[in-house]
Amino acid sequence: MEIHLIRHTSPLIEKGVCYGQSDILLAPSFEEECGKLKMHLPVSVDVVYSSPLMRCQRLAQALNTKGERISDKRLMELNFGTWELKKWDDIPFSELDAWMKDFVNVPAPGGENFAMLYARASNFFEEIKKLHCKHVAVVTHAGVIRAVLANVLEMPLKNAFKIPVAYASVTRLKLDKANDYCAIDCLSRT
């Protein structure tokens, strides 16, 4: 099985704004980014899973695959709670400093920590590994992709943010017949 982890295209939001689970619009470059991304996907995809957030739903729909499309809340980005849609510079230093020192265990106020995101992303990944499909597309967010890769690579969660995940990128996981990990390829970076 091949699992294609796809990050949504560029959002239409000012740089420096925290927007985890906020539903935001996509940049005018959507069509161009989507076109480039499609070149790195198989012609036929059995099923497309997507975060329910608009930026992922729009891309999942634009992929025009004949396979089933399924929305799954486990694929949502990290919940930043009261920090959502605030500029990072406007978040109280004491809160931000504690989170930056241990984002794995410390949640944003009213939000979740990375360990929580990792648990739901890992649960999703283990579930789809049981599918009998040739190609699965997963349209999601950088945090979820990093969590899945941390799971596959068995790496410490504190190192997950060292994995670069560009907008409109495709990371392909190839699983063997037993659906154990075989290989990781970064197929596109727009």
Q: Where do the domains of the chain lie?
A: 2-188
Q: Is 171 in contact with 142 (CB distance < 8 Å)?
A: no
In the numeric block, the tokens 């329910």 are attached to 52
Q: How are beta strands 47-50 and 181-188 bridged, if at all?
A: unpaired
Q: Which residues contact residue 46 at a Cβ distance below 8 angstroms, ignoring those fewer than 6 apart?
A: 67, 68, 131, 133, 134, 135, 136
**Which pTM value belongs to this model?**
0.94
Q: Is 139 in contact with 4 (CB distance < 8 Å)?
A: no
The answer regarding whether domain 2-188 maps to CATH 3.40.50.1240 reads yes
**Of 106, 128, 129, nearest in space to 116 by CA:** 106
Tally Cβ neighbours within 10 Å of residue 180: 9
Q: Across the chain, what does the average pLDDT equal?
A: 93
Q: Which residues contact residue 79 at a Cβ distance below 8 angstroms, ignoring those fewer than 6 apart?
A: 20, 21, 108, 111, 112, 117
Q: How are beta strands 135-140 and 2-7 bridged, if at all?
A: parallel
Instruction: Check residue 188 and give its pLDDT.
Output: 62
Phi and psi at 35, nearest 5°, equal -60, -45
* pLDDT per residue as tens digits for the range 77-110: 999 999 999 999 999 999 999 999 999 999 999 9
- How many residues are listed for the chain in this entry? 190
**Of 60, 61, 89, nearest in space to 75 by CA:** 60
Instruction: Check residue 187 and give its pLDDT.
Output: 67
Q: Is 41 in contact with 137 (CB distance < 8 Å)?
A: yes
**Of 81, 76, 79, 85, nearest in space to 18 by CA:** 85
Assigned token pair, 70:
């399924």
* pLDDT per residue as tens digits for the range 112-145: 999 999 999 999 999 999 998 999 999 999 999 9
